[in-house]
Chain A
Amino acid sequence: MPGITREEVAHLARLSRLELKAEELDHFAEQLDVIIGAVARVSDVADEDVPPTSHPLPLTNVMRADEVRPSLTPQEALSGAPAQEQQRFKVPQILGED
């Protein structure tokens, strides 16, 4: 029986940097549990002759020649940045005080 615990949802939320309230944790745990259960049923249907699939098309070796293509200008690249400084993306403090 698949299942996801409230603790696992809290862990995932932390990894995703999402701040979830207590009632949200309960709510999502319940919802995710249903989703996982639904996906698990696919495994029940698939027999030994059906390999796990990560790509729906039977393609391999799609490669690109090592040729330079035009990049964005720095202005274009930074146009969506919430903050910038010295032509760089500016991000908040990464580590708090030790």
Chain B
Amino acid sequence: MTVTELVSYEEALATFEPVMGLEVHVELGTKTKMFCGCSTELGAEPNSQTCPTCLGMPGSLPVVNAVGVESAVKIGLALNCEIAEWCRFARKNYFYPDMPKNFQTSQYDEPIAFNGYLDVQLEDGEVFRVEIERAHMEEDTGKSTHVGGATGRIHGASHSLLDYNRAGIPLIEIVTKPITGAGERAPEVAKAYVAELRELIKALGVSEARMEMGQMRCDVNLSLMPKGAQKFGTRSETKNVNSLRSVERAARFEIQRHAAVLSSGGTILQETRHFHEEDGSTTSGRIKEEAEDYRYFPEPDLVPVAPSREWVEELRAGLPELPRVRRNRLREEWGVSEHDMQSILNAGAVDLIVATIEAGADAASARKWWMGELSRRANEAGTDLAAMEITPEQVARVCALVAEGFLNDKLARQVIEGVLAGEGAPDEVVEKRGLKVVSDEGALGTAVDEAIAANAGIADKIRSGKVAAAGALVGAVMKATRGQADAARVRELILERLGVEG
């Protein structure tokens, strides 16, 4: 393997214009496979979810999954595509053991959805339109385990083992048109596109689109052409880039690698490349020495799909608010900046905050707890916010307790800690831990008097007008009440006692 020399990113972009094409495969969340009634449940024992159809037995006949077609139409509509009035499946023939039929049932020149776009928003708020070439229906392949090689890779393996549970699970492949004009922001656009697509798929409810589970996978095709040129260069196809961060890194690496090759007078081979998570590099896969010869032909065992216009319009009318539109609406309602909204999105907190507000909290408090204390704890535990053992309703209750003056922020943090530790609902934690703010004015008054008496010097300063010094006395009272006092009320009492206007 030759070590790839790279040129700096800035240098690459000074000379060349990147052109990208992104192919995303989404595994649908249907209960059954695309062409047979086998379950798609994850984690089943090997080869326990197969039947004559998905095993490619002679005489078996596929029948398409209605929800699979409906999901494809919904995705197409959400991507502003035209929906075919009539389209067919096609056999993509290839010789490889991950498909027992020796072909993948896909769509060729008649995709169910075509000619659309997705607007994606970059971190600074700039909106970039990514044109969609097509979205078509197909099926996933089986899972290979390579045995006998050093690292479980196919190279050097003595033989391979196949589990066909995944073979036949519905896939939608979404292909962009060449993305031009993104310039130095190309890697960022690639990442934002995949992120937006994932949000869209989730909002449609057609898949959980969890990239770490392989439910959404991305191929990054990239080429460079000299600035100002019209003709695209030769592209490389980096396969299976399976996280948002990796999509950005893979595009960036390929820009630098292509630029190095082209600048030194070399030529780019049209080849597939493998992405390496460890260092963000890509290495050569197989060279496409000849155009792949898939010998596509119409699938004779499946009849054409002809979505009626009435049905398409019905599905269009039922589309949810699109994620970017929803985010912008929420951003305005919550009064936060683009940047803050991006952080909220990245933290996976949008829906949690919405649910907390629906449970009665105000937007600022809901956002504060999810993005502050709870994000910090999720980070520490290395888990997702959504996986935290606290519900939006419980967070809303904590917000209410603070708003009503029963808790201050410090106590509220302890309540959250208690809920996360399984001590029960917020009110139970308050009860068990005895966490209520000292609201007994008598007890508080005594604590204030004691603090003034013990800090006569400070008290004098306050009397003479140095109101800022009150902080030290507030601290003393908070300490005396073990943090269970309402600091604002303590301050009021101190100033009142000392005859100073706050």
Contact = CB atoms under 8 A, between A and B. Distances in A.
B110 to A, nearest CB: 10
A22 interface: no
Interface string A67-78: 111011110011
Contacts of B48: 71, 73-74, 77
Which of A15, A77, A86 is most buried by chain B, counting CB atoms within 10 A of its CB? A77
B303 A55 contact: yes
Which of A61, A65, A66, A87 is most buried by chain B, counting CB atoms within 10 A of its CB? A66
Nearest to A95: B154
B51 A62 contact: no
A17 B38 CA distance: 30
Contact of B47 (A16, A66, A69, A74): A74
Interface string B31-59: 11000111100000111111110010000
B47 A78 contact: yes
A63 B162 contact: no
B392 to A, nearest CB: 30
A68 B32 contact: yes
A86 B48 CA distance: 13
Contact of A63 (B64, B95, B297): B64
A62 B303 contact: yes
Q: Is the interface of B mostly helix, strand, loop or mixed?
A: loop
B96 A55 contact: no
B50 A72 contact: yes
B157 A71 contact: no
Contacts, number: 133
Contacts of B388: none
Contacts of A62: 63-64, 302-303
Nearest to A74: B47
B300 interface: yes
Given A55-B300, A93-B160, A64 B154 contact: no
Given A54-B88, A62-B63, A95-B154, A69 B46 contact: no
Interface in B68-91: 68-69, 86, 88
Contacts of A15: 93, 95, 293, 295
Interface residues of A, number: 37
A64 B64 contact: yes
Contacts of A89: 47, 97, 100, 161-164
Nearest to B162: A89
A60 B86 CA distance: 9
Contact of B39 (A11, A71, A87): A71
B63 A68 contact: no
A55 B303 CA distance: 7
A47 interface: no
A94 B97 contact: yes
A69 B305 CA distance: 23
Given A63-B63, A66-B66, A88 B46 contact: yes
A57 B302 CA distance: 11
B205 interface: no
Contacts of A63: 63-66, 69
A94 B145 contact: no
A94 B290 CA distance: 19
A54 B298 contact: yes
Interface in B151-191: 154-164
A67 B37 contact: yes
Contact of A74 (B32, B45, B88, B298): B45
Nearest to A52: B298
A17 B95 contact: yes
B159 A54 contact: no
A91 interface: yes
A15 B96 CA distance: 11
A12 to B, nearest CB: 9
A16 B156 CA distance: 24
A19 interface: no
Given A17-B95, A69-B38, A71-B51, 9 more contacts: A11-B293, A54-B88, A64-B66, A66-B67, A71-B38, A86-B46, A90-B161, A91-B97, A95-B157
13 contacts: A15-B95, A17-B95, A61-B307, A62-B64, A64-B64, A72-B50, A77-B164, A87-B163, A89-B47, A89-B162, A89-B163, A94-B97, A94-B157
